[in-house]
Amino acid sequence: MTTAPTATTDEAAQPPAPAPAKSAWATLRPLVLRLHFYAGVVVAPFLLVAALTGLLYAASFQAEKIVYDHELTVPAGDRELPLSEQVAAAREAHPGGTIAAVRPAPEADATTRVMLSGIPGVDPGHTLAVFVDPYTAEVRGELEQYGSTGALPLRTWIDEFHRDLHLGETGRLYSEFAASWLWVIAAGGLVLWFSRRRALRTVRGTGGRRRTLGLHGSVGAWAAIGFLLLSATGLTWSTYAGANIGELRASLGQETPSVSAAGGGEHAGHGPAGGPAGDAAHGVGLDKVLTAARAEGLGDPVEIVPPADETSAYVVKQIQRSWPVKQDAVAVDPATGEVTDVLRFADHPVLAKLTRWGIDLHTGTLFGLPNQIVLMALAAALILLILWGYRMWWQRGRGSAFGRPIPRGAWQQVPPHVLVPLLALIAVLGYFVPLLGIPLAVFLAVDILLGEIAHRRGRRTYSGGPAVR
């Protein structure tokens, strides 16, 4: 009887090799995917409204030129009348109210604007702009105006619709909520898209959900940088995040400076063209004030603000927001016509300049028409991405119902050395951007609560598999 040979030590069964450790990204990807999914589902309606109204706003600049062509333009003449005569014509047509500012015609075929405040029937935060032909002093019309860019009724209505849905300060929460989450969704989608294998990013020759995903990812990848810029610049003048950014700039000494209009002189208001404080005829008058500003290099377009009281100076400031930006300002003594203070945009702190450029980029004024076209393209892309996103969710449910959400529990797969710094970063961002931090905290609390309820019912599952009870 023969016996089977005894297995050698080398031939003995070896214990199974341990599974290779997951990379940090492999553990983070399900978490990013879940955040991108839920943020997209919940925030998308707000983003859709912001995109639609933003598209209208970007187009309103050109629409305004067409609708208000009669007020804005005149046939170019040979010689402009003195600015004081143009303002006198506006005052004769509208003797009520106070002159808040004057904008001399910036181009040969443009009108002069005389802005009046305190006019009955005009919103207290707006002015009545009286448009005067600089060659004949004919009053071409008057329109309510808002903001430093001189928005007229059409653009004002669209601007307020985009900013607060005509609901006031409460309505501004919608736009801040959308801006707070846009960068999170865009950055998450960008990371997810480039983490996919190149073969899975192809759109050509595909169909169904894979084609929708390909379109969603491709367009999102191209537009992501624009979305990040829109989100960051939109937050700079939002209610809560904007206030935090302002406090941070102040603590760093990076606030936007302003020219000093104080100290107009003890004889202010007693010059040859004396008038009440706040009136354009105060002191030496507009023509000499404008001449003094021109001598300091302030080219068109400019705005002249009369003295606020007997001890204040005129302020003349450039108002060109398009590139190159013209934002220099001077103060002019109303008694002597001498420049008492000069502020150059080149001397503004770095963060003040970045804020100025960012806001102008967001509103479509920094690069004019090309800027507005890009904004319209980004708004259209965001609308398509939202529609494709909801379509993918529907297709995930096999075309008959919305698919199941991404499984919970992904955060438990993230190693502590990655999770702890990530949570700290989120806490800091949540503090400075509360409409990101508060909803995220609520989402996490609800998600954990639902997970515990499912656990107690014995059916808790995670993205990595069933939980161990």
pLDDT digits (tens, 9 = 90+) for 388-407: 999 988 887 765 566 666 66
| Tokens linked to 180 | 């707070």
pLDDT tens for each residue of 54-76: 999 999 999 999 999 999 999 99
Q: Report d(CA 274, CA 282) in Å as an integer.
A: 5
Q: For position 275, what pLDDT does the model report? A: 46
Q: Which residue reads 């990655």 in tokens? A: 418
- Omega before 324 within 30 of 0, i.e. cis: yes
| Mean pLDDT lowest among 28-37, 127-136, 186-195, 333-342 | 28-37
Residues written for the chain: 469
Domain count, the chain: 3
Q: For position 267, what pLDDT does the model report? A: 39
Residues 144 and 277 in one domain: no
Whether residue 191 is contained in a domain is answered as: yes
Residues 390 and 410 in one domain: yes
Q: Select the more confidently predicted residue: 408 or 118.
A: 118
Instruction: For the chain, give the percent of residues with pLDDT over 90.
Output: 64
Residues 87 and 43 in one domain: no
Residues 372 and 459 in one domain: yes
Residues 206 and 291 in one domain: no
Long-range contacts from 209-216, C-beta under 8 angstroms, 24+ separation: 209/392, 209/395, 209/396, 212/388, 212/391, 212/392, 212/395, 213/392, 215/384, 215/388, 216/385, 216/388, 216/389, 216/392
Helix crossing, 416-432 with 24-67: angle to 10°?
A: 20
| Tokens linked to 79 | 């010689």
pLDDT tens for each residue of 337-355: 999 999 999 999 999 999 9
Residues 192 and 239 in one domain: yes
Whether residue 313 is contained in a domain is answered as: yes
3-class SS of residue 177: helix
Residues 281 and 429 in one domain: no
3-class SS of residue 308: coil
Residues 87 and 38 in one domain: no
Whether residue 272 is contained in a domain is answered as: yes
Q: Report d(CA 272, CA 43) in Å as an integer.
A: 62
Q: Report d(CA 299, CA 191) in Å as an integer.
A: 46
Among the candidates 125, 151, 177, a domain finishes at: 151
Residues 125 and 190 in one domain: no
pLDDT tens for each residue of 122-132: 999 999 999 99
Q: Residue 3: pLDDT above 70? A: no
Query: What's the mean per-residue pLDDT of the chain?
Result: 86
Q: For position 447, what pLDDT does the model report? A: 72
Q: For position 23, what pLDDT does the model report? A: 64
Q: Residue 156: pLDDT above 70? A: yes
3-class SS of residue 80: coil
Residues sharing a CB contact under 8 Å with residue 330, sequence separation 6 or more, in sequence order: 259, 292, 293, 296, 298, 315, 316, 317, 339, 341, 342, 343
Among the candidates 151, 186, 214, a domain finishes at: 151
pLDDT tens for each residue of 276-318: 445 666 678 999 999 999 999 999 999 999 999 889 999 999 9
Q: Which residue reads 């050395």 in tokens? A: 417
Q: For position 318, what pLDDT does the model report? A: 97
Residues 405 and 446 in one domain: yes
Residues 408 and 443 in one domain: yes
Among the candidates 103, 122, 151, a domain finishes at: 151
Which domain range does residue 208 map to?
Answer: 24-60+165-250+368-466
Whether residue 124 is contained in a domain is answered as: yes
Q: 336 falls in which pLDDT band (50, 70, 90)?
A: very high
Whether residue 408 is contained in a domain is answered as: yes
Whether residue 3 is contained in a domain is answered as: no
Whether residue 456 is contained in a domain is answered as: yes
Residues 374 and 461 in one domain: yes
Whether residue 145 is contained in a domain is answered as: yes
pTM equals 0.85
The candidate with the shortest Cα–Cα distance to 110, out of 361, 301, 332, 239, is: 301
**How is residue 327 annotated by DSSP?**
-
